[in-house]
Structure 1
Amino acid sequence: MYSGDYLRLGHIEGKSGLISLDICKKESSVNSVDTAFLQELEAVCDLLESDQAVRGLLITSAKSAFVVGADIFQFPPLFNGPLEAFESWVVRAHGIFNRLENLPYPSVCAINGLALGGGLELALLADARVVAEGAKLGLPEVTLGLCPGWGGTVRASRLAGVQPALELMLSGKPVSGEKALELGLADRCVADSELWVAGLELLDNLVTGALDFRALRARKHDIRAEACNQEALEQALAAYLKPNYPAAQKILSLVLAHASLPFESALEAERRSFVTLGRTDCAKSLVGLFINDQSVKGAAKRAAKAANPVQMAAVLGAGIMGGGIAYQAAVTGTPVLLKDIRQEALDLGVDTASKALDKLIAKGHMDDAGKRDCLGLIEPMLEFKGFDTVGLVVEAVVENEKIKHAVLTETESHLKPEAILTSNTSTISITSLAEGLQRPENFCGMHFFNPVPMMPLVEVIRGAKSSDVAIATAVDCALKMGKTPIVVNDCPGFLVNRVLFPYFNAFNRLLHDGVDFQRIDRVMEGFGWPMGPAYLADVIGLDTMVHADQVLQAGYPQRMGHDDRPIIEELLDKGALGQKNGRGFYDYANGPRNKSASPDALSLSERAARQVEISDQQIIDRMMIPLCLESYLCLDEGVVGSAAEVDMGLIMGIGFPKFRGGALRYIDHLGLNEFAAKVDALADLGPLYRLPESFRTRAQSGRNFF
C-alpha cells in the first residue's frame, strides 16, 4: 500500500482488513521523527482515511527500538528562525498526529526497545498499547530544556494521572514496560518474543468489539477529575525544579493548567509552552550540547580508525590518579599492569580501584563476583615485568618534568617498538617531554581528569612529533574506557587548564580590589557554576593551583601575568592546601559539606590594597570575559578543531554551566557585538581584557560560533 524511507504500510497476512504500519527509517540503525517522517505520516493518513476496507491498524517498528525520539538536529533552525514558521511547524505536527489518533477504526501500538520523547508521543496516539518487558518508555524533553511538544503532556497525564505523569516528565528518566503498564501508559506487557502476537490479538479484540476502542480512546480526551494542590505538588516534586532550568517549572504549570481544559484547548496550551521554551537560551544551549556531543564523539570515532588495537595497557604511578585510570581500563574490559616503585603506592592504587567498584555494587550495577573479576584484570607490580606485551602506557607520576622525563625514558626501553607511550600531565609540554625519547612519534599526551571514574573528558595532546597512529590509538583507548576524548594541539595548559586559569587570574584581581571571596563564590554559583572559584581552588588543591598558574604565566607572560601576587600563593605560604589538609579559602574541620571561611583567607581579604565598589554583574563580567576570550583564542589558534570541542571540553572538564552551553555559545547568546562592547569597557584592566582583532572582524561580519 505504501513504502517510503520511514514508513511501510501493508496488509497483515491472513487478517482481512487489518493493516500494519511499520516504522523503518532507512539508512539508520534507529527510528526518529523529523519533518520528512511527518510528511510520510501525512501521506499514510491520506491512505488510511480513504480505504474503506480497513478495519484496524497495528503500529510496529522494524528495528530493535520503537522510536528513540525526535531528530534533535532539526531543532536549531526552528528555534532560531522566524517565530511564525516554528509555530506553524508545531501546529502541523499536531494536526498529523491527531489524524492518526482519530481514524474511524481501532489502532494498537506494539512497543519494543526504546520509545522516548516523540516516539512515546507517537505510541500514545494508538487506542491501546502492548509493551515488551524489555522496553523503556520515557519523556526526556526536560533534559533539553523543553516540554513534550506533540501531545505528550496531555495524553500522558490523562492516562497515568497528573502526578505520576509529572514525575515521568520532570525526571526525564525512562520506565520499564511493567512500570508503564502500572502507570496506565500501556494496556499489556508481554515477553519481547510475544510482542507481535499479543499486539495482533489485542487489535482483534478491538475490531470484533470484545473491547470498546472508543472507550479506550476517550481516556486520553476526558478531563481529569482529580484535584491537585499546586503548593503540595511543588513540594513533592521540588527535586526536579532547578533554578536556571525553566522547563521543569513550565511543565508543572502547564499540566496543572490543562488538566481541567477540554482536549483541544489542552493541546493548544502545550503547543504554546513548547514554542516558548524552544526560544529560550537554555533550550538552545542544551539542544546545542546534545548536537556538540554527537559531533565530538563522531570526530573521535573517525580519529580512532587508524588506531593499533590495544589488548593490554599499563599505568605508571599508582596513586589516586593512576589507580583511577587502571580502574577505568579494567572496568571496561582491558587488562592493565599497574606499576610503581613503592608498595604503599600500589596498595593505594588498588584501593582506589576497589572503592570505585564498591560504588558500582552499591548502585546495583555490579556484584561481588564482578568486582573480583575486575580487580583480577589489574596486575600491580614493582618491576617492568610484562611491559613488552603492552600496547599503550599511561604515565601518571608526580607533575614534575624531570621525574617524568626519567620515567618515560626508562619505560620506553621496556616496550615493544610499536607500543604507544602517553603522559597524563595536566600542564607540561608534550613536545618537551618527548625530547630524549627514541621514538617520539609514538608519544602523546593523555590527560585524564580527577576523579577519573566520574569525569568523562580525556584530552589527547598532539606533540610536535606525535604520529597519527599514536593519536588514534590514544583516542581509541579513551573511547574503549567509556570516555570522551578531544584531540588538542600542544600548548601551555592544553585546552581546559589554559582556559581555566585566566578565570582564576580574574578572581585574584577581584580579591586585590577588596571583593570578598565568599561573595564572588555566591555570585558565580548563582551564574550557574557548580562551585565558586575559591571553593574550586580548594577542591583542586592550592599547591596544584600555584604550579599550574606558574606554567600558564610562563607560557603567556603578557596576558596571564599578575599585577599583584596571587592570594593563593600567600595561602600556600601559610601551609594551606585546600581540602587536602582541611584548610584553604575555607576551613573544612567539620567536613567539606560544612565549610566556613578560614581565618587565613579572611585576613588576606582584609589586607586588600584597594576597595572597589562593584556590582554582581560586574563580578560576572570580570570573571567570564578572560575565560571566554581564552576559549576563543584556543579556537582561533587551532588548538582544537571546532567550537563544539571547545565548549564540550569546558562542560566536561570544568563544569561550565550546561544551561549556558559553553563559553562560545555564551558569547553567541550575548551577541558578539555586545560581548565585544563588554570587553572594550574593561580594557583598562590589562591584556587579559583586550579583544583580539580577529574577534572584532568576526563580530562585524556577524559570524556566530554556532
Structure 2
Amino acid sequence: MTNEKNSAFTLDVRENGVAVVTMDVPGESMNTLRAEFADEINHVLDQIEGNKNIKGVVLISGKASSFVAGADIGMLDKCTTAEEAEQLSLQGQATMQRIENMPVTWVAAINGPALGGGLELAMCCHYRVCTDSDKTVMGLPEVQLGLLPGSGGTQRLPRLIGLQAGMQAMLTGKQFRPKQAKKAGIVDEVVPHSVLLDVAIEFALKRKPAPRQPKLNLVGKLLERTPFGRQVLFKQARKQTLSKTRGNYPAPERILDVLEAGAISLAKGYKTEAKYFGELVMTPESRQLRNIFFATTEMKKEHGVDGVEPAKVAKAAVLGGGLMGGGIAYVTAKAGIPARIKDIRAEGIANAMKYSFDLLMPRVKRRIMSKALMQKQMALLTGSTDYAGFKNTDIVVEAVFEDLKLKQQMVADIESQCAETTIFASNTSSIPIGQIAAQAARPENVIGLHYFSPVDKMPLAEVIAHSGTSDQTISTTVAFARRQGKTPIVVKDGAGFYVNRILAPYMNEAACILLAGEPIEHIDKSLLNFGFPVGPMKLLDEVGIDVGSKISPILVADLGERFTAPDAFDKLLQDDRKGKKNKSGLYDYNGKKPGKAVDESVYTLLGISPRQQLSDDQIAERCVLLMLNEAAMCLDEGVIRNARDGDIGAIFGIGFPPFLGGPFRYMDSLGIDHVVARLNYYAGVLGDKFKPAEVLVKMAAEKATFY
C-alpha cells in the first residue's frame, strides 16, 4: 500500500494480485491532469513494474462523481512558446504509452466524466468499464478550446471506434453516454456503480486483449482501410469542415491533418499530434476560447449578490404555455424542480407538455436516457387553467405576451395567490422590470429572468433587477437559472437590458445596408464569414419581424434616436411578413428547401434593385462596430457589471464569434484607438449613429484596455 502525503495517486496491491491505483487530487472536487503529476505517476508505475506479484491493475477515481474531467487548462496559459506546449504533449504521450506497453493488464474503472485527458488516460488502458450513471460521459472536447487531444487521443480513439466515428467525435467534441460508448466500442462493459470495482478487478485478471479492429460495414471498410478510400474521406471532411468554420477556427483542420498522418503510420501520427497541439495552444483563437472557459468556470462560483446566499427553490411555476413557457418548464423539470404550468387554455398546457415530451423521446430512442428517467422528468410537470397548486411555489416565471398591463395583472395575481416570499420573474425581452413592478405590493420580489429562444438550447439567461429588487431575490434567481443549466448574468434594468440593446443597432445597420441595395444573401454571408452562427437577415426571420418592430419603439423612447429602425420593417409587416413563423419573410419558406433561398419578391416590395457594392469586410465592420460601441456604453452605464459578463452575454446570447472572445476582448485585440478611429470615419460618412461612446474616446486617449 502506497499513500504518500498529498499525492494525487495511491497504490493498493490486493491479495489476488490486482493493484488498485486511485487518483484523488487533494483539495479539488474533480480530478484533472497536471504536468507536475508526471513524477507521481511514474513513481507508481515504477512500483508496479518492480512488483512481480502484480497480475493486473485497476485505475479508479477517489472522487464520488468524476473519473478525470480532463487536463488542467491553466497549465497551458503558462506556456510561452509552441515548443513548451509541445513538450507537455510529448510528456503526456510518453506516460500513456508506458501504461499501454506494460505487460500486466490495465483496466480503467470510470464513473462520472472522463473527458479530454481523462478519456485519453482511459484509452491507454487495455479494458474500460463504466457505470450506468447519468453523470458518466466520455469524449474528447478539446476542439471547443481551439485545441486537439494531445496525449495520444487522436490516434487511440479511431483505433477503437473507427476513423470516421473518431473524426466526427473530435471535430464536434461529442460526448458519449454509457450505452452509446459501449455500442461505439469505447468501453467494454457498463455496470451499476455498486459493482464497478468488482467488475474492473475481474477484467484486470484477464489477459491483455489482442489488437481489435472497429466493426465497419462494407462502405466503411472501403473508406477507412484503402488508400483511395481515405483520400476521398479526408477530402470530403475538409470540405465540410471549411464550410462550417469558414476558416475562423484552425483546430478542426489540424485534427484532420493529425488523423491523416496517423493513417500513414502511428509514429507519424503521434509526432504530428504533439507538434500541432503545441502550435494550437499559442493561437489567439485558442487563447480566447480558453478565456471563455475560465470566465464561465469563475461565474459558477458566484452568487447573484456577494455574501447573500440564495433561498431554496423546491417548487416553480410558469405562466404561459407557448414556446417560451414550454421551454422554461422543460429546463426547470430537467433540473429536478417540479413546475406547474398555467395557461388560459387547456390546449396551451398540452402544448407545453408536448414540448418536453418531443425533446425527451428522441433521447430515449437513442438510448441517451432511460424511459424511466424520461417519465420521472415528465411527472414533474403539471398544469392548470387557474392558480390551483400555486400556494407553495417559490418562484413563478411569467412568459406571456409583451403587454405591460397584462404583466402587471400577473404580478397582482401571484401576490394574491402565492406566499409572501414568492419571486415573480418576468421573461420579458424589452419592457423595463421597474414598470412591471410599478404597482406591486411586494416589488422586492419582482425581477426579470430573460431567456433566449429556443430555451432548451440557448445557454444564457439575463437576470434583471429593478431598483427595488431585494438582494435575496437576485441571488435566488441566479441560483435557479444556474440549476436550469443556464449561464446567468446580472444586468441593470432598462430598455432592451444588455443583449437586445447591443443587438438592435447591429440589426438596424444590416437593414440600412439592405435598403441601400446590397443583396440579402450577401449581407448574411458577410456576417457568417465574420463568425456569427446566423446572418442578421436570417436572424430577423427566425426571431420574427413583428417582434423586432415591437422592441424598437421601447428602445427609442428610453435610449434615443440612434435606435430608430429603418422603414423596411414597417413595409414588411404591412405585407404580413413576420418571418419563419408565418412562412413569409425575407427568405422563401414555401419552396423545395424552406428558408434556404431569398424570397426575391421582397426587393420589389422594398423598392430595391439588389446589386453587390460593398465587400464582406465593409458590411461586417459597419454592423459590428455599432454593437461594440453600444456594449461600451452599457458597461459605462453599469448595465453590465464588468467586461467579462458583457463578453459572455454576447457570445451565449447572440452568438458573437467565440474565437474573438466577445465584444470587449475583441476591442482590446483591435486596439481601442483603432475602434474609435473607425467609428469616427463612419460617423463622418453615415451620421451620428456611429459617434464613438465617450468611454471609448477617453480610453483611447489614455491607452487603456478592458482587461
Q: Which TM bucket (shorter chain)?
A: 0.7 to 0.9
Distance 2:381 2:627 in 1: 41
Cα contact 2:407–2:436 (8 A) shared by 1 = yes
Q: CA deviation at 1:372?
A: 9.4
Q: CA deviation at 1:544?
A: 1.5
Q: Which amino acid aligns with 2:651?
A: I
Q: CA deviation at 1:555?
A: 2.0
* Secondary structure of the structure 1 residue equivalent to 2:417: coil
Q: CA deviation at 1:172?
A: 2.8
Cα contact 2:58–2:109 (8 A) shared by 1 = no
* Secondary structure of the structure 1 residue equivalent to 2:444: helix
Q: CA deviation at 1:387?
A: 4.1
Kindly tell me: are residues 471 and 192 of structure 1, through their superposed partners in 2, closer, same or farther at Cα, counting changes over 3 Å?
A: closer
Matched, 1:454 2:495: no
Q: Which residue of 2 aligns with 1:297?
A: 300
Q: CA deviation at 1:577?
A: 2.2
Distance 2:702 2:51 in 1: 55
Cα contact 2:459–2:487 (8 A) shared by 1 = yes
Distance 1:100 1:5 in 2: 23
Q: Which residue of 1 aligns with 2:89?
A: 90
The equivalent position to 2:384 in structure 1, one of 350, 368, 380, is: 380
Question: After alignment, is 155-164 or 3-12 more displaced?
Answer: 155-164
Provide the identity percentage: 33
Q: Which residue of 2 aligns with 1:322?
A: 325
Q: Which amino acid aligns with 2:469?
A: S
Cα contact 1:425–1:445 (8 A) shared by 2 = yes
The equivalences for 1:588-599 within 5 A come to: 588-590=589-591, 592-599=594-601
Distance 2:169 2:549 in 1: 46
Q: Which residue of 2 aligns with 1:681?
A: 681
Matched, 1:424 2:422: no
Distance 1:310 1:639 in 2: 27
Q: Which residue of 2 aligns with 1:617?
A: 617
The equivalent position to 2:526 in structure 1, one of 518, 523, 527, is: 523
Kindly tell me: are residues 388 and 689 of structure 1, through their superposed partners in 2, closer, same or farther at Cα, counting changes over 3 Å?
A: same
Q: Which residue of 1 aligns with 2:667?
A: 667
Q: Which residue of 1 aligns with 2:578?
A: 577
Q: Which residue of 1 aligns with 2:129?
A: 131
Q: Which amino acid aligns with 1:491?
A: G
Q: Which residue of 2 aligns with 1:208?
A: none
* Secondary structure of the structure 1 residue equivalent to 2:245: coil
* Secondary structure of the structure 1 residue equivalent to 2:301: helix
Q: CA deviation at 1:201?
A: 5.4
Q: CA deviation at 1:432?
A: 2.4
Q: Which residue of 2 aligns with 1:112?
A: 110
Distance 1:319 1:312 in 2: 20
Unpaired segments ≥5 residues, structure 2: 215-223
Q: CA deviation at 1:547?
A: 1.6
Kindly tell me: are residues 581 and 254 of structure 1, through their superposed partners in 2, closer, same or farther at Cα, counting changes over 3 Å?
A: same
Q: Which residue of 2 aligns with 1:649?
A: 649
* Secondary structure of the structure 1 residue equivalent to 2:120: helix
* Secondary structure of the structure 2 residue equivalent to 1:624: helix
Cα contact 2:129–2:190 (8 A) shared by 1 = yes
Q: Which residue of 1 aligns with 2:347?
A: 347
Q: Which residue of 2 aligns with 1:250?
A: 254
Matched, 1:306 2:309: yes
Matched, 1:691 2:698: no
Distance 1:339 1:133 in 2: 39
Alignment deviations for residues 139-167 of structure 1 (CA, whole Å, 9 cap, x no partner): 22223322111122234445655445434
Question: After alignment, is 695-704 or 645-654 more displaced?
Answer: 695-704
Alignment deviations for residues 270-309 of structure 1 (CA, whole Å, 9 cap, x no partner): 1111122223343333333333332333335887963333
Alignment deviations for residues 486-515 of structure 1 (CA, whole Å, 9 cap, x no partner): 221112210111111010122233234332
Q: Which amino acid aligns with 2:117?
A: G
Q: CA deviation at 1:24?
A: 1.1
Distance 2:704 2:287 in 1: 17
Cα contact 1:116–1:139 (8 A) shared by 2 = yes
* Secondary structure of the structure 2 residue equivalent to 1:131: strand
Distance 1:656 1:46 in 2: 49
Q: Which residue of 2 aligns with 1:511?
A: 514
Cα contact 1:132–1:177 (8 A) shared by 2 = yes
* Secondary structure of the structure 2 residue equivalent to 1:534: helix
Kindly tell me: are residues 380 and 154 of structure 1, through their superposed partners in 2, closer, same or farther at Cα, counting changes over 3 Å?
A: same
Q: CA deviation at 1:65?
A: 3.2
* Secondary structure of the structure 1 residue equivalent to 2:402: coil
Distance 1:43 1:366 in 2: 42
What is the total number of aligned residue pairs between the two structures? Answer: 682
Unpaired segments ≥5 residues, structure 1: 206-210
Q: Which amino acid aligns with 2:598?
A: S
Q: CA deviation at 1:177?
A: 6.3
Root mean square deviation of aligned Cα: 3.8
Matched, 1:259 2:263: yes
Q: Which amino acid aligns with 1:148?
A: P
Distance 2:672 2:43 in 1: 44
Cα contact 2:324–2:399 (8 A) shared by 1 = yes
Kindly tell me: are residues 131 and 534 of structure 1, through their superposed partners in 2, closer, same or farther at Cα, counting changes over 3 Å?
A: same
Q: CA deviation at 1:618?
A: 0.6
Kindly tell me: are residues 425 and 84 of structure 1, through their superposed partners in 2, closer, same or farther at Cα, counting changes over 3 Å?
A: same
Q: Which amino acid aligns with 1:282?
A: E
Q: Which residue of 2 aligns with 1:27?
A: 27
Question: After alignment, is 85-94 or 364-373 more displaced?
Answer: 364-373
Q: Which residue of 1 aligns with 2:567?
A: 566
Q: Which amino acid aligns with 1:170?
A: L
Q: Which residue of 2 aligns with 1:551?
A: 554
The equivalences for 1:209-248 within 5 A come to: 211=207, 227=227, 229-234=229-234, 237=237, 242-244=244-246, 245-248=249-252
Q: Which residue of 1 aligns with 2:544?
A: 541
Q: Which amino acid aligns with 2:127?
A: R
Distance 2:410 2:379 in 1: 25
TM-score normalised by L of structure 1: 0.84
Q: Which amino acid aligns with 1:424?
A: N
TM-score normalised by L of structure 2: 0.84
Q: Which residue of 1 aligns with 2:290?
A: 287
Cα contact 1:278–1:284 (8 A) shared by 2 = yes
Q: CA deviation at 1:526?
A: 2.6
* Secondary structure of the structure 2 residue equivalent to 1:29: coil
The equivalences for 1:134-173 within 5 A come to: 134=132, 136-158=137-159, 162-173=163-174
Q: Which residue of 2 aligns with 1:72?
A: 73
Distance 1:203 1:581 in 2: 61
Q: Which residue of 1 aligns with 2:469?
A: 466
Kindly tell me: are residues 358 and 304 of structure 1, through their superposed partners in 2, closer, same or farther at Cα, counting changes over 3 Å?
A: farther
Distance 1:553 1:87 in 2: 53
Q: CA deviation at 1:520?
A: 0.7
Q: CA deviation at 1:628?
A: 1.7
Cα contact 2:433–2:493 (8 A) shared by 1 = yes
* Secondary structure of the structure 2 residue equivalent to 1:229: helix
Alignment deviations for residues 428-459 of structure 1 (CA, whole Å, 9 cap, x no partner): 11122222222211211122223333333321
Q: CA deviation at 1:25?
A: 0.8
Cα contact 2:33–2:118 (8 A) shared by 1 = yes
Question: After alignment, is 128-137 or 147-156 more displaced?
Answer: 128-137
Kindly tell me: are residues 268 and 454 of structure 1, through their superposed partners in 2, closer, same or farther at Cα, counting changes over 3 Å?
A: closer
Q: Which residue of 1 aligns with 2:220?
A: none
Kindly tell me: are residues 507 and 160 of structure 1, through their superposed partners in 2, closer, same or farther at Cα, counting changes over 3 Å?
A: closer
Question: After alignment, is 444-453 or 420-429 more displaced?
Answer: 444-453
Q: CA deviation at 1:33?
A: 0.7
Distance 1:157 1:52 in 2: 33
Distance 1:32 1:555 in 2: 48
Distance 1:546 1:368 in 2: 44
Distance 1:554 1:140 in 2: 45
Q: Which amino acid aligns with 2:504?
A: F
* Secondary structure of the structure 2 residue equivalent to 1:606: coil
Q: Which amino acid aligns with 1:243?
A: T
Q: Which residue of 1 aligns with 2:219?
A: none
Kindly tell me: are residues 88 and 587 of structure 1, through their superposed partners in 2, closer, same or farther at Cα, counting changes over 3 Å?
A: closer
* Secondary structure of the structure 2 residue equivalent to 1:596: coil
* Secondary structure of the structure 1 residue equivalent to 2:490: strand
